[in-house]
Amino acid sequence: MSAAEFRWRAGQPEAALDLLARASTLPRPPEVRLRTAALEGTVAARTGSSERARDVLIAAGTSVADLDPDRAVPLLADGVLAAQYAGDTAAAARAAARVDALLPRVRSPRARWIGTLATGVAGVITGEGGPDRIRAAMAEIAQDPSLLADPQLAPWLVLGPLYLREDGDERSVIRTVVANLRRRADLGGLPILLFLVARDQATTDRWTDAVATYTEGVALAREAGQATDVAAGLAGLAWLEARRGDEAACRAHADEALELTATHRLGFFRTWALTALGDLALGAGRAQDALDAYTAVDAHVTSLRFDDVDTWPAAEMVDALVRLDRHDEAASLAARLTARAVDKGQPWSLARAARARGLTCADEELDTHFDAALELHTRTPDTFETARTRLAYGTRLRRARRRTDARGHLRAALATFDSLGAAPWAEQAAAELRATGETAHRRDLTGLDHLTPQELQVARVLAAGRTTREAAAALFLSPKTIEYHLRNVYAKLGVRTRTDLATALAERV
């Protein structure tokens, strides 16, 4: 069993599964059987067999639920996550219900923590509430820092803040969790964590870092044969490239992600790849193509019974419908989105719903809805969504012949889109600003904009104070490769020392 765990941590899932299969023919005490099921479920979930992982983990947790709730709850919790990745919300809900029933009998703080978070996640994806449980679980970390050092909890620790989509202290745990896993050289667990970290970066203002992190995660996942994490990373990368207007890369990555998610039945990650194609079209101004793509996303999440309003592209569909002059349909959809966002009660969802209402309301009501959206945006870290709202607000103000009022919102939107590298959206904001009679001033590119994802990753690690050998170990590269990338970074940024490098990166942040 220990040998299989070592193989998994070393990034050798096939060898780990082979050892587990050989061990299954030997007499095993209950303790070993549970460890075996946990590892088998983990490896299966990461290597493209989420349905197998779901079955193994839930069966193992159920088998000991009556006798040992403290062992059952973590297994069932991981089963919730595997079911989610497979797009099986019904199984996730059933496993979460079992966890809920066991929590009053749980004694271990660790088991109680993961059970609370898992039931919160299941509640979110099934539209049955859950944010309050996630907040409660994340708040416990301050009282029990040992949770941060537990490698088996690493994905859960990052998932919590991602599901909340809120500004708060709980987001500070993400960097600590990744650093801990890098120090352990846990290649098996690192790709999915890098994907989740990249997702967090992509929903803030750190898009360049997100590309680097996604790219690293995909490369490590390919090397380790972790198909689930390859698909996840590619879908996330395509989603970000769509917003940056990198059409060729977006389509290539989305196509590969769609192929992998179809082969391995990874319905959750398929949603992101499909959404990327809609975002690509909407950013380019192809409203009908965007609506068609988002309609496909809507049908997909409906078929999976994903009832989380945040997986529903209704806000984007409203935007596309307005551009197509289908205002009655847009208004009806905005009303449905608002009802569901109110039910969830989180600022990210409510802000997008308020923007949709602002796009479809009468002129005399637009300030009310857009001001509400902007106030809600202040509670989230998503600068792109804030800029989208300012662009929509400025556009409506201009068309209502309030050009002076429009300019401030359009300037702010343009500055944010430029800083993110969201080129097609910056073009839209610039065009609207010019239509008000004002010249649009664009941000100049810097040396950082020309770094490759791997060069940026190397630069970040070295600027944090690590030696070449430490950076090589953390990024699973050779010291010679680190030095090669560092020379390129120096040349592109026009710096000569690591102190200058740290200053250059700090100035951009």
- Cβ count within 10 A of residue 498: 18
The pLDDT of residue 509 is 42
Q: Return the sign of the alpha-carbon dihedral for residues 205, 209, 215, 218.
A: negative
The pLDDT of residue 3 is 75
- Residue 77: pLDDT band (50, 70, 90) is very high
Q: Whole-angstrom Cα distance, residue 469 to residue 381?
A: 34
The pLDDT of residue 169 is 66
Looking at domain 2-196, what is its CATH homologous superfamily? Tetratricopeptide repeat domain (1.25.40.10)
Cβ(235)–Cβ(254) under 8 Å?
Answer: yes
Residue 227 in this model has a pLDDT that exceeds 90: yes
Locus of tokens 């991602």:
162
Q: DSSP secondary structure string, 395-454?
A: HHHHHTT-HHHHHHHHHHHHHHHHHHT-HHHHHHHHHHHHHTT-PPP-PPP-GGGGS-HH
The pLDDT of residue 455 is 83
The CA R_g of the chain, rounded to the nearest whole Å, is 23
Domain locations in the chain as residue ranges: 2-196, 282-435, 447-508
pLDDT in tens, 439-490: 877 666 666 667 777 788 788 778 877 888 877 776 767 888 888 888 888 8
pLDDT in tens, 485-509: 888 888 878 788 888 888 877 755 4
Q: Do domains 282-435 and 447-508 have the same CATH topology?
A: no
pLDDT in tens, 163-194: 888 877 667 787 777 777 666 656 777 888 88
Q: Looking at domain 282-435, which of 2.30.60.10, 2.60.40.3120, 1.25.40.10, 3.40.50.300 is its CATH number?
A: 1.25.40.10
Residue 27 in this model has a pLDDT that exceeds 60: no
Residue 206 in this model has a pLDDT that exceeds 50: yes
CATH topology of domain 447-508: Arc Repressor Mutant, subunit A (1.10.10)
Q: Whole-angstrom Cα distance, residue 383 to residue 416?
A: 7
Nearest to 223 by CA among 12, 455, 374, 62: 12
Pick the residue with more confidence: 457 or 160?
A: 160
Pick the residue with more confidence: 58 or 461?
A: 58
pTM confidence score = 0.84
| Mean pLDDT score, 51-73 | 93
pLDDT in tens, 304-337: 988 899 999 999 999 999 999 999 999 999 999 9
Mean pLDDT rounded to a whole number for the chain: 88
Burial category of 2 from C-beta neighbours within 10 Å (exposed 0-12, middle 13-18, buried 19 and up):
exposed
Q: SS3 for 71-139, per residue? A: HHHHHHHHHHHHHHHHCCHHHHHHHHHHHHHHHHHCCCHHHHHHHHHHHHHHHHHCCCCCHHHHHHHHH
Residue 71 in this model has a pLDDT that exceeds 90: yes
The pLDDT of residue 15 is 74
Q: Hey, what are 441's tokens?
A: 């001033």
